[in-house]
């Protein structure tokens, strides 16, 4: 199992803060404007293709404005999570590859503190693959919002 972050090992079903389970976001101070909840797992077009090729297309739902996401259970748990393990781990979406990293417009590269397995002492160059996935996600959102201002 390849990990995106050197020395990072997802705890899976043993994690007390399972990010694939019910997830309400990283702060109650952050509010969304687009109608997408923090608990939704947004898919890049490449993610959709990769997941469909594995025969797990039933995990994908189409949302508003052509935005695709992973199906979730009523409590927000990812549909791909079975017995505490990701059933699409090798084909997991970019947002899952990037987690627990995110970019804050004020602070820059940040991480979700609830992730028990994350090692904040490592330098940012240790996170190349996760950072690439994170940048792909931001490029996706930028394209979407650029359409609104043109």
pLDDT tens sequence across 115-138 = 777 777 777 777 788 889 999 999
What is the pLDDT at residue 19?
73
pLDDT for the residue numbered 3: 46
pLDDT value of residue 7: 54
pLDDT of residue 140: 93
Give the single-character DSSP code of 54.
T
Domain extents in the chain? 12-149
More confident residue, 150 or 46: 46
The pLDDT of residue 18: 66
Residue 143 near residue 36 (C-beta atoms within 8 A): no
Task: Read off the tokens for 76.
Answer: 């927000």
pLDDT grade for 2, boundaries at 50, 70 and 90: very low
Q: Is 15 helix (H, G, I), strand (E, B) or coil?
A: coil
Instruction: Supply the pLDDT for residue 29.
Output: 60
27 Cα distance to chain centroid: 16
Sign of CA dihedral 58, 80, 72, 134: negative
Determine the pLDDT at residue 1. Answer: 35
Q: What is the pLDDT of residues 31-90, one digit of tens each?
A: 566 666 666 788 999 999 999 999 999 999 987 778 899 998 888 888 998 887 888 988
């Amino acid at each position: 199992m390849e990990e995106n972050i050197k020395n990072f090992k997802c705890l899976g079903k043993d994690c007390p803060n399972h990010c694939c389970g019910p997830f309400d976001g990283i702060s109650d101070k952050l509010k969304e404007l687009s109608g997408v909840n923090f608990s939704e797992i947004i898919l890049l077009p490449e993610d959709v293709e990769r997941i469909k090729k594995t025969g797990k297309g039933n995990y994908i739902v189409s949302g508003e404005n052509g935005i695709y996401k992973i199906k979730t259970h009523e409590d927000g748990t990812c549909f791909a999570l079975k017995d505490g393990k990701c059933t699409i781990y090798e084909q997991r979406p970019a947002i899952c590859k990037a987690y627990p990293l995110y970019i804050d417009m004020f602070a820059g590269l940040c991480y979700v503190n609830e992730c028990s397995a994350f090692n904040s002492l490592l330098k940012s160059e240790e996170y190349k693959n996760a950072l690439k996935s994170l940048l792909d996600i931001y490029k996706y959102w930028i394209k979407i919002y650029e359409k609104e201002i043109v």
